[in-house]
Structure 1
Amino acid sequence: MVTSWPKGAPGVGTSADRLAAKINEMSGGRLTVTVYGAGELVPPFEVFDAVSSGTAEMGHGASHFWSGKDPAFNYFTGLPFGLTAHERIGWLTFGGGQALWDESYAPFGVRAFFAGSSGVQAGGWFREPIKTLDDLQGLKMRIAGLGGEVLRQLGVTVTLMPPGDIFGAMTSGTIDAAEWVGPWNDIAFGLPDVAKHYYLPAFHEPGPALECLVNEDAFGALPKDLQAIVQAAAGAAALESLGEFTFYNAQAFATLDDLGVTVHTWPKDIVTAMRTASDGVLKDLSEANELCRRIHASYSSYRSKAVIYANASEREMLRLRVKNQP
């Protein structure tokens, strides 16, 4: 299994390790999966190609890393102001999302399984506070997915680089700001050492998906029980991944003050601009090709209902459980 993550990286690398261990154990040793960190066999953004070509039988990454092959891939990591992690599970499992994912990857000989999520991510690390839209002009920032296109429209100079390169790029001044995942990962990657202003949440990644990639020919050659084990192991690893991120992000968040970090929420005028730009980016995505049109119709129909329900249930419950909340 080739991955897009540094070996053993918190949350992402550990999720890949856990998935491999589950397959090995559940199969009684009949199927052995060896995990390779980013760059050990293939570069981090070439994982999909390696699985497609059969260079590796399995991979672990995120679909937006290879969305240049088909913009439809963006739907299966996450969209700006899109589905949360558990809403995504609902769409994939019961709303037809998995069938659309299968269709998207089929021309490349790749099958994907949902393999985890960080939950709501953080918006990024900045050397100086972001108070107005003017503060974004010309800012050089590492940001992944469609969030990068949104910020590009707001004047940010966007770059995408492998996670293992973020700290060095911030230290050298190659970039001025960066988003990665959340407190647990970000602290582990040293980001509080190079920037002290931390913005939450990530407007573009409310519940992004990790994916387990399997070469279709290799998967088809497995007996049915081993195919079922791979799928079940991915599902089990996904559940534990979300739990792991949720638990350790809470622990890490509690240490930010001691690290001299100032936590911010986004100013309202910037959120408004992000939403307006996102609407345009998503409209363009929905019209990119026939597959995007069908995926968008399915995704957005479910999202509209999920938002209404979440506002009445989860949002209200979160408000009620905070002490002294008006």
Structure 2
Amino acid sequence: MIRIKALTMVAAIAAFIAVPTLALAQDAKHSFKMATGWPGGPLMDIGAKAFAERVDQMSDGRIKIQVFPGGTLGNALKVTETVKNGVAEMGHTWMGYDWGRDTTTVLFGGYAGSFDSERMLHWLYQAGGVDLQRQYRDEVFGVVSMPLFIRTAEVFLHSRKPVRTLEDMKGLKLRTAGSWLDMAKDLGAAPVTTAGGDVFPMLERGAIDATEWGTLWEDIAPGFHKVAKYLIIPGVHQPVAPFDLVINKDAWAKLSDKDKKLIETAARLTTFDSWLRIGEEDAKALDVYRKAGNEVIELAPEVQYRTREIADAWADKQAETNPWFAKVLASQRDFERRWANATQYRNVKVRATATQ
């Protein structure tokens, strides 16, 4: 009897030890390549690479993601296509680069009619935006998609010419992307698009008069201010810019439910971290430009008001013929109406001080 009890105890201990061993054996290892649209800078460092590092940490090294600079695995403006075709299992892009195929992309990537970054985060994570994004990218582009990285309002322009009024916009050769290519024309500008790595040399040699790219802090790294004296704010063309993690559907299907949740959580944490970091660094950045000898110009109200009018009219036109655009736009405008009076209960008036 004693021997039977001993054997039973040994078997129980062995079974107890085997359970976590079996669980570990079921947690598969994965190695993915990630294509990006960026040569470097914050989008790479606190976006794509930060996400890869977080996934590695959260998976105890089981899931490895090798991040490649823009253009290494394919066209930097066509990361979605690179991922869909399986050249890379993952990609980090701005969805608005795909606007030529479907203009709905700019509603998720931000355009001149978008709300600010705080509201965009609430819409994405609390009001159904993430689910709409997943459904849309799957149905129209055949990839798995979720937010990864988000900007606050961008710099309107780094310009070789002063730009303040609607008259100053006429004939201005500027680099941009997404729906602003169309809208800038309505302001009288002459817009073109190009990958991020080509912007500086084009601006330096005068092939373009001005460019938009990122926020105050993000634009320090590419050095546009070194070849363009004028810094034009605020970024009415892009009040917010969420970026996009795209995943090949076959690669996604190989992940367990647990690992899919891990990827989603890592992307969400990276997105919030990027927002916090950019907000803090933007607050310091104007001094950098002023010390470098740049002149900071605030756009005239006429330009800011006219931009929003153009954006709303453009969105209404897209919604007339594009069911997905209409669906997402309706969701965003419903959200915007709910938040219409938010400043009354969220913003507290204070007297200006010397430090302000």
Unaligned runs of 5+ in 1: none
Contact kept, 8 Å, 1:83 with 1:303, in 2: the verdict is: yes
Give 1:272's aligned residue.
305
Query: Which whole-Å CA distance do the structure 1 matches of 2:351 and 2:280 have between them?
Result: 18
1:16 to 48, 55, 58: 48
2:98 to 52, 66, 83: 66
Counterpart of 1:28, as a letter, is D
> Could you tell me how far 1:12 is from its partner in structure 2?
4.2
> Could you tell me how far 1:10 is from its partner in structure 2?
2.2
Query: Which whole-Å CA distance do the structure 1 matches of 2:158 and 2:330 have between them?
Result: 34
Query: Which whole-Å CA distance do the structure 1 matches of 2:221 and 2:126 have between them?
Result: 35
2:185 to 149, 152, 175: 152
Listed one character per residue, the Cα deviations across residues 229-274 of structure 1 (whole Å, up to 9, x for unaligned) are: 1111101111111122122222222211111111121112222321
User: Which protein, 1 or 2, shows the higher relative CO under an 8 Å CA cutoff with sep ≥ 6?
Assistant: 1
Counterpart of 1:197, as a letter, is Y
Counterpart of 2:321, as a letter, is A
TM-score by length of 1: 0.93
Residues 131 and 94 (structure 1 numbering): CA distance in 2 closer, same or farther, change over 3 Å? closer
Give 1:93's aligned residue.
125
Residues 35 and 321 (structure 1 numbering): CA distance in 2 closer, same or farther, change over 3 Å? farther
Listed one character per residue, the Cα deviations across residues 191-232 of structure 1 (whole Å, up to 9, x for unaligned) are: 111111111111122121011111122112111111111111
Query: Which whole-Å CA distance do the structure 2 matches of 1:313 and 1:155 have between them?
Result: 39
Contact kept, 8 Å, 2:138 with 2:145, in 1: the verdict is: no
Query: Which whole-Å CA distance do the structure 2 matches of 1:134 and 1:165 have between them?
Result: 28
Query: Which whole-Å CA distance do the structure 1 matches of 2:170 and 2:205 have between them?
Result: 20
- Backbone CA RMSD of aligned residues: 1.9
TM-score by length of 2: 0.85
Contact kept, 8 Å, 1:64 with 1:144, in 2: the verdict is: yes
1:103 to 123, 135, 138: 135
> Could you tell me how far 1:169 is from its partner in structure 2?
0.5
Counterpart of 2:130, as a letter, is Q
Are 2:195 and 1:162 equivalent residues in the alignment? yes
Give 1:214's aligned residue.
247
> Over alpha carbons, which structure has the higher Rg?
2
Contact kept, 8 Å, 1:5 with 1:13, in 2: the verdict is: no
Give 1:38's aligned residue.
70
Counterpart of 1:178, as a letter, is T
Residues 131 and 116 (structure 1 numbering): CA distance in 2 closer, same or farther, change over 3 Å? closer
Are 2:115 and 1:79 equivalent residues in the alignment? no
Report SS of the residue matched to 2:288: coil
> Could you tell me how far 1:321 is from its partner in structure 2?
6.5
Query: Which whole-Å CA distance do the structure 1 matches of 2:193 and 2:151 have between them?
Result: 19
Contact kept, 8 Å, 1:11 with 1:244, in 2: the verdict is: no
Contact kept, 8 Å, 1:140 with 1:177, in 2: the verdict is: yes
What are the within-5 Å matches in structure 2 for residues 1-326 of structure 1?
A: 1-6=34-39, 8-107=40-139, 108-309=141-342, 311-314=343-346, 316-317=347-348, 320=350, 322-323=352-353
Unaligned runs of 5+ in 2: 1-33
The share of aligned pairs that are identical, in percent, is: 27
Residues 171 and 212 (structure 1 numbering): CA distance in 2 closer, same or farther, change over 3 Å? same
